[in-house]
Structure 1
Amino acid sequence: MDKRYTDLELDGLKEIMNIGGGNAATSISQMVNSKIDMKVPSVEILSYGDLYKRVIADDVEVHAILSRFVGDFEGALLFVLSDAAADKLAGLMMGSDVEGVSREVKASAVSELTNIVANSFLRAIGTMLNIQLITSLPATSYDYFGAVISSAYMALDQYDEQVMVIRNEFLYMDDKLDASLFLIPEVGMLDRMFKSLGI
């Protein structure tokens, strides 16, 4: 099923996600003692098939962090970023150059940042909809994106064919680091969200 959502619905979601991004930036800034901004320039809802056609570049390995969430809604958040962006974000989190640092240490730093981002987005959604959502401990991987998203769907089994794709821009000094957050919802979650928002 490839359900179409209106611009008004997507603008409402983008506003919620920008609130979450602002909360995440504040938390990260306090942790690293440096000014970090985070913006959400776009939010899309794609079918699983369209995700492969339009988003996935399967010739590049990526860092991926998967966090499930439970509560009034259930689903998972998949945070994906390039190796170069992971290096810069890990260096920011660790307060040092990551050259020579093991992939495990780098993954741990990025996982900590992802946990902040995921929880900030879920708090924004929860506050707006007056619900509670709780995340699990994140699981990290480094693989081709096609393999990552396929593994996530196999693990989650009966989740919706619609995926919310949230672009993230981290702004730090002169750097702009791009990442993507994929919300994989349980069946019917997105429609219930829109209904709760009154859109």
Structure 2
Amino acid sequence: MLKNYSDLNAPARDALQEIGNIGTGNALTALSSMIHQTIHLQTPAVRIVPYQDAQELLGGAQTVKVGILIETSGDMNGIFMFLLNETFTRQLLEGVLGKSTIDLREPDEMSQSAICEIGNIMCCSYINAIASMTGMQIHVSVPSSCTDMAGSLLSVPMIHFAQMGDELLFIENCFRINACDFVSHVLFLPELSSIEHLLERLGVS
């Protein structure tokens, strides 16, 4: 029985890496269609990291990020959080809305809706990958978004899942759009029982 994410063995981590690869590939296709531009992607990195290390990997606790949060239920209980830097967010919104002057701290209704949709696409790409590989029934909440410092954004999922320890699954994606490189992150915090169910469905022990 898993007590924390670090108990996952090599086959289990490989399975999560494969889900990350498939989910990111699906997200790439959807985002490219949304912004009508080609997006290139490096192989995503899937890691299990302590909370404090996650802050540093995001550039430090005070680095401003745009966070989109989705909760899952059904066969997979947990949280997905998609984190973007402000430059990448503006690049995506310009492609979706055709405007570059956007106040991310207080976005208008259209911009807010577009931000949530981008996060929804990213997170659901991973959720759909899990569902298609396992047959699990996974329900998702309406996404919520916020622009804040990384430390503040990370405190939200950690408060929800403090009983599982101070670790999280951390997926880093490196994108290239129009010769500009961007990094985004997906934080995946499923309940440990859901992880065990997932691995059982995948035949991984």
Q: Output the TM-score relative to the length of structure 1.
A: 0.85
Conserved? CA contact 2:43–2:173, under 8 Å: yes
Q: How many residues align?
A: 196
Residue 152 of structure 2 corresponds to 147
Q: Secondary structure at the match of 2:192?
A: coil
Conserved? CA contact 1:67–1:78, under 8 Å: yes
Q: Which whole-Å CA distance do the structure 2 matches of 1:140 and 1:66 have between them?
A: 6
Matched, 1:138 2:143: yes
Corresponding letter in the other structure for 2:172: R
Matched, 1:11 2:18: no
Q: Which whole-Å CA distance do the structure 2 matches of 1:53 and 1:153 have between them?
A: 16
Change (3 A) 1:4 1:46: farther
Residue 83 of structure 1 corresponds to 86
Q: Secondary structure at the match of 2:68?
A: strand
RMSD of the TM alignment (CA)?
A: 2.4
Q: Which whole-Å CA distance do the structure 1 matches of 2:130 and 2:5 have between them?
A: 23
Conserved? CA contact 1:61–1:82, under 8 Å: yes
Aligned-residue offset at 1:187: 3.2
Conserved? CA contact 1:22–1:39, under 8 Å: no
- Dislocated runs of 4+, deviation >6 Å: none
Alignment of 1:4-153 (within 5 A): 4-48=7-51, 50-52=53-55, 57-96=60-99, 98-99=100-101, 101-103=102-104, 104-105=107-108, 106-153=111-158
Residue identity (%): 26
Q: Deviations over 1:47-95 (max 9, x none)?
A: 4455456656112121111111112111111111211222212212223
Corresponding letter in the other structure for 1:69: T
Q: Secondary structure at the match of 2:173?
A: strand
Residue 174 of structure 2 corresponds to 169
Change (3 A) 1:126 1:59: same
Corresponding letter in the other structure for 1:167: E
Corresponding letter in the other structure for 1:113: I
Q: Deviations over 1:106-128 (max 9, x none)?
A: 44322211111111110001111
Q: Secondary structure at the match of 2:164?
A: coil
Conserved? CA contact 1:44–1:165, under 8 Å: yes
Corresponding letter in the other structure for 2:168: V
Structure 2 gap segments, 5+ residues each? none
Conserved? CA contact 2:16–2:46, under 8 Å: yes
